[in-house]
Amino acid sequence: MTYTLEQVQDQATVLGIDPSKAEAFFHHFNAQGWNRANGQKITDLYSMLWNWKNNPRQFAKKEGFEQKMTRLAKERKSNDRSTG
């Protein structure tokens, strides 16, 4: 089963998860084909989001990824301006 960004955001709102975290969750698991790290399919979105929310170590990893992506995007813009 696959989920839409809207479905993830709706469930995340119910759980009190920040919208940016919900979007990071969506893109991470969408890219993985909605499989967990052990290869099992995600069959219960609410439960998976709840587990993700209550595993601070996992959120920290996602925050680091988001920060890295933001930094790389800024660097790319800066390089584009200096070369363009």
User: Which pLDDT value is given to residue 64?
Assistant: 65
User: Which pLDDT value is given to residue 39?
Assistant: 92
Q: What is the pLDDT of residues 23-82, one digit of tens each?
A: 999 999 999 999 998 999 999 999 999 998 988 676 555 556 777 777 777 888 888 777
Write the DSSP string, 12-72.
HHHHT--HHHHHHHHHHHHHTTSB-TTSPBP--HHHHHHHHHT-HHHHHHHHHHHHHHHHH
Residue in 4, 66, 11 with CA at minimum distance from that of residue 29: 4
The pLDDT of residue 9 is above 80: yes
Whole-prediction pTM: 0.67
The pLDDT of residue 84 is above 70: no
Band (pLDDT 50/70/90 cuts) for residue 11 is very high
